């Protein structure tokens, strides 16, 4: 049930970013504030499980803030990946980031080809929320639905 809620929130964020290049603070806050419900449902211990989850999410958020500072990613994307990191099992986070990077690379390639075909001088804004949502949906699948994982979740 909660994984389904996160899947819906990620899909809404991806569509919003694709259409308007904006991921609302309200949506990111909803993703972040519903994570404790998932922790409770998963019967996570306050120490070390929830503390580790929050610490890793903060580290991911800080790394993406650094990318934001140099103009590499938008603010809504930073908040979205930080909120998503509160949900996803720590053992799946590196894989989530890899899937996110691969999907982001495909999106960037499509945007570059589109720009060249249209002969536009303006640099396109990448809807990176789509890549974050794709990585998040993949991780949700691995965490909750995949009974024969290629990546062991401990």
The domain ranges of the chain are 2-145
Average pLDDT score over residue span 67-79:
95
pLDDT-derived band at 11, boundaries 50, 70, 90: very high
Instruction: Tell me if residue 20 falls in helix, strand or coil.
Output: helix
What pLDDT is stored for residue 149 in this prediction?
A: 61
Please state, in angstroms and rounded to a whole number, the distance separating the CA atoms of residues 114 and 111: 5
What pLDDT is stored for residue 150 in this prediction?
A: 59
Please state, in angstroms and rounded to a whole number, the distance separating the CA atoms of residues 10 and 24: 12
Number of H helices and E strands in the chain, helices first, is: 6, 0
Please state, in angstroms and rounded to a whole number, the distance separating the CA atoms of residues 21 and 89: 28
- 20-51 residue pLDDT tens: 999 999 999 999 999 999 999 999 999 999 99
pLDDT-derived band at 119, boundaries 50, 70, 90: confident
Please state, in angstroms and rounded to a whole number, the distance separating the CA atoms of residues 119 and 34: 44
Residues in the chain: 154
Average pLDDT score over residue span 70-75:
94
- Are the beta carbons of 28 and 14 closer than 8 angstroms? no
């Amino acid at each position: 049930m909660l994984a389904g809620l996160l899947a819906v929130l990620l899909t809404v964020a991806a569509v919003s970013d694709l259409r308007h290049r904006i991921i609302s603070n309200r949506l990111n806050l909803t993703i972040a504030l519903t994570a404790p419900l998932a922790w409770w449902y998963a019967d996570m211990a306050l120490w070390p499980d929830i503390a580790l989850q929050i610490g890793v999410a903060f580290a991911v958020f800080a790394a993406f803030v650094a990318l934001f500072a140099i103009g590499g990613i938008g603010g809504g994307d930073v908040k979205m990946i930080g909120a998503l990191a509160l949900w996803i099992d720590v053992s799946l986070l590196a894989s989530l980031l890899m899937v996110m990077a691969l999907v982001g690379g495909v999106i960037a390639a499509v945007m570059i080809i589109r720009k060249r075909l249209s002969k536009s001088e303006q640099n396109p804004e990448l809807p990176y929320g789509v890549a974050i949502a794709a990585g998040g949906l993949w991780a949700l699948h691995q965490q909750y639905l995949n009974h024969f994982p290629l990546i062991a979740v401990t």
